[in-house]
Amino acid sequence: METSKDLFNYIDEAEKLFDEGSIKKAQKIIRDVNNQINKSKKIPNKLRHKFNAALAKSRYYDDVSSFAANPKRNELIDAIKEIVNNPLDSPKKQANHIHEIQAKWQLLDLSSRPAGREQWQKFNELTNKAWEPCKEFFDELKERKVQNANQRKKLINDINQFVEENSNNWPDARNLINFINSIFKKWKDYAPVLDKDLKPLRNAYYDAKKPISKEIERQENVVIKAKESLIAKVDLINDEENDVCIKKFNDLKKEWKLAGSAGRKNDNKLWDKFNKSADRFFSAKKEDVEKDLKILNLLKKDLKEKSKTPSELLTEGNKLIHLNKSKEMHAFIKDVKGYENSIKNQSKIEKLDSYKNLYEIFLGKEKSDGTNISKKILKSAIETKDNKFDKDKISYVTIKLEIMANLESLKKDSALRQKIQFEMLADKFNKGSNDNSAKLEILLIEFFNSLNNNEVGASEKKLWTRISKALDALSSELP
């Protein structure tokens, strides 16, 4: 028996629930308190006054609920009356429609105060009349339930036969699980059955599959022991080099995959334990990676400031073994290669500029110091005072360089260009040298050996302009 103090506390709790909007929970407490009060011979007036106030509030909410729910119940009564007056063509559709209306009525009873007697009697009478045309459908449904029961009996026989054929040499757990799942999928398809058949069939089903369930459990226990053994092996790994530890763990992981299934629930727990045991290796690996990343960031700074050569950057980057094949290292190497190419391109541009400046050196207007020009070519451009001026030769060199650069020559030079092309074709058939760098060197030497700075003028300057354009196209093959 609850004390008065307990009942006071229950009422306080109910009032709090009313305030929070948990009406159903509060009303349940008030009903429980009412039962306790009715059992008590005498209760304090203060408690009775407090209870009466709470009870009034509960009834108020019942009235509000009924006020909202009763019009909806009347709508459902009208809906069932419509079915009675105008039955549907299909008994099956009518049965389903009645079922939907009944479900809505039951939902109102759950969510509000139950219907009054008069309302319920009216609804129930109309529902019974609405069901009458559905008798044929129910007979059909009963026959289907009987057929479903027979199909389930066949499934039980299939399980018993499987057990008999395989109990001396069970398949692995995966195949056993697949078999049981396939049976269960069919079992669900053969529903519903008659109420009287439901429990006996269910018990027979569970009894039939018990030997299979036991065998699955036995095999899973074997796998559990194997995987626990692998976890113990991980615990024993303690090599000085962390990479060796990780390699050993990865080898054990391969064994883990071959061990089989320990059951979904057990597998997840064991897998977590297996990996947690190896966390220490990867924590150390993470520290090594973070150290290498700090060094890599310093190398990136050197790259940005161009304070080290590409070769130096690549050499130091290759030492960061914990970043091998990482996206950070891949991006760094790509940037270094870009830096290296920019240096090569700059050197290429400077070399081309030096060659294009040869004519100015020949004229004595530019110095030859610090150029990237072949020494033999440079010598031929500087030492020209004893040269015999040969206009035909310098034209020949110019046109040949244009042919090598795939540039057009002047129309007036077409005859000479054709002659040179035949010479080059013949040289190709005679297996002459394919080294364009060496050919360029010979041609440029011939050009300056055929000049004398005391006899050159505007026409020779124009020829050099044409040669400069050819050198642009042949820049990668300059000697």
How would you write the pLDDT of the chain (479 residues) with one tens digit per residue? Answer: 567 777 878 888 888 877 766 767 777 787 888 888 787 767 788 878 887 877 777 766 565 555 456 777 888 888 888 888 888 878 778 877 877 777 777 666 655 566 667 778 888 888 888 877 777 676 776 787 789 899 999 999 999 999 999 989 999 888 988 999 999 898 888 877 776 888 898 899 999 999 998 998 898 888 889 988 888 988 888 887 877 888 888 888 888 888 888 877 788 888 888 888 877 776 766 677 777 778 878 878 887 878 888 888 788 878 877 777 778 888 888 888 887 888 777 778 878 788 888 878 777 777 777 677 778 887 877 777 678 888 888 888 888 888 888 889 888 888 888 888 888 887 777 665 667 788 888 888 888 888 887 778 888 888 888 988 988 888 888 88
**CB-based burial of residue 452 (10 Å sphere; 0-12 exposed, 13-18 middle, 19+ buried)?**
middle
Instruction: Report which residue type is found at 92.
Output: K
User: Could you tell me if residue 72 is left (phi over 0), alpha (psi between -120 and 50 degrees) or otherwise beta?
Assistant: alpha
Place of tokens 């394919």: 434
Q: Do the Cβ atoms of 394 and 463 come closer than 8 Å?
A: yes
Whole-number Å distance between alpha carbons of 36 and 9: 13
Whole-number Å distance between alpha carbons of 402 and 397: 9
Long-range residue pairs from 302-305, CB within 8 A, at least 24 positions apart, any chain: 303/332, 303/335, 303/336, 303/339
The domain limits of the chain are 4-115, 137-225, 370-477
Q: What is the CA radius of gyration of the chain?
A: 50
Whole-number Å distance between alpha carbons of 225 and 192: 42
Instruction: Report which residue type is found at 17.
Output: L
Whole-number Å distance between alpha carbons of 208 and 158: 9
Whole-number Å distance between alpha carbons of 12 and 25: 13
Six-digit token pair at 20?
Answer: 């929070």
Whole-number Å distance between alpha carbons of 423 and 439: 14
DSSP state of 261: -
Task: Decide: pTM greater than 0.75.
Answer: no
Chain CA centroid to CA 293, Å: 25
Strands (E), 13-86: none
